[in-house]
Structures are given as structure tokens and as C-alpha cells.
Structure 1
Amino acid sequence: MTAAAAPPARALVFVAVGGGVGAVVRHLLTQTLPGADHPLPWPTLVVNTLGCLLMGLLTSELTRFPLHRQPVKMLLGTGFLGGFTTFSHYVDGVRELTVGGSPGWAAVYLVLSVVLGLLAVWIGITVGKGKR
């Protein structure tokens, strides 16, 4: 096995800037969404579903760009959407619901997150392709 080549510093800057902005936007959005009184972590579900929709749109749009547009993918896809969505918080939400005595809500959240995420990516791709 050979070691993978290190990404150029420019790509790392795009990922870092996009990730930082995405994380801040996620934090601000989850603070404004209602749902603290509900067993399901709705803010995380909404953010992750929105992130999947945006990833679908971005993926569709990036197929139109030449390969030299890689910085857009690094900034918006890996960076912004990587920082905006949060798989670790999703998994921790499932754990908290289970440990907190709500395994039924944990199962609903687990399945709903995956189904809505896949549906959102599909919608994003479909809408993105339809704009051509």
C-alpha cells in the first residue's frame, strides 16, 4: 500500500473555511428552531435533511462544471455541508433517546433521518437536473 498524497494547502483552506462557516450556520439554525420540548431532536433532523437536499443540488450542479472547479466542491461540499450536517449529533440523539427510556422515539428518529435524507438528496438531484 502506498500513502495517499497530501491534498494541496489551497484545498485544505477551502475545506476549513467552508466547514467553519457551515458549523456556525448549523449552530445558529438549530438555536432558532423550535423542538426543545419534543422527544425527537427536530432541529438536528431539519438541518441534516436540509443538508442532504443541498448536497443533492450541489452534486447535480457540479456535474456541469469542468474538473478545474474542484475548489467549489471542496468549499461547499466537503467544507460547508460537512460542517453544516452532523452525523455524530444524529447518532448521539439516537443514543440519548435510547438511554433516556424512549427506544420507540429512537427508532423513529433513526429511520426518519435516513429516509428523509435519502429523499432530500434525490429531490435535490432531480431539481438540479431539471434546471438544465
Structure 2
Amino acid sequence: MSGVTNPATVHECLRVGAGFAQGDRAWIADQFGMLDSRLAAFHADATELEVSVKNRETKGQKVTLECWIAGRQKIVTTSAEEDLHAALNDVRDDLRRRLNDAKTRQEPRHNKHLRDTSPPPRAAQDTDD
């Protein structure tokens, strides 16, 4: 279990943007629920998700999912799938992959002692006279 006291969840952090009504929020959050395991490593008050759609349910439909986590670069995923549910799954799966990639880049693999979070020892300061 992570040391996060108030872990982020989709239900807590998701906002619906352009193209969606507030009434769409619950079923979208349910569809994005598998992201909770990835988001749990971050504080809820430092994490935001926003999903929006342009040209909803038309040939030119574009779904965008944005993720802001304090101290990290914003992640933006998009899908041009014509089916709304397929497009939402597409952006969800892409965000999950990118969160996994970000975690892998930050956490050394197969080297437990490198994962130690204690600060490195202070280097002796040079004293030039």
C-alpha cells in the first residue's frame, strides 16, 4: 500500500468538460474505474482529470482526456473513434499506459536498494583557501 493518505480516484477527481453533461459523469467515471489503481499513488487534492468531446457522436468526433498531477507534466490523450464508448475506452487505456510508463521511468527496476526514498548522504564540501 502506498503512503498516500487521501489517494486519488476517478470518482473524486473527474470533471466533465465540453460536449458532456453533468449527468454523463457517473457512467464515464464507472468506465474509467480501472484507472483508480494507477491514480492511488497520488493525492486526490493534487490530481485532476477532465474528459471532453468535440462533435459528439458524429463522424468527426474527438474525445480528449487530460490528467494533471501536481509536480508532473500534464498528460493528454485523444481518440477519434466514432463510437463514444470505444473512444472513452481508448483515452482511458492510453492514459493508463502513460501513467505506467511514467512510473516505470521514475522507479528503478530490479534494484531494491535504489528504491530507498531516504535522501542521499551529503557530500563533503570543498574548502578552498
Shared fold (TM-score, shorter chain, > 0.5):
no
Which has the larger Rg? Answer: 2
Structure number with the higher strand fraction is 2
User: With structure 2 as the length reference, what TM-score do the two structures score?
Assistant: 0.30
User: With structure 1 as the length reference, what TM-score do the two structures score?
Assistant: 0.30
Structure scoring higher RCO (CA < 8 A, sep ≥ 6) equals 1
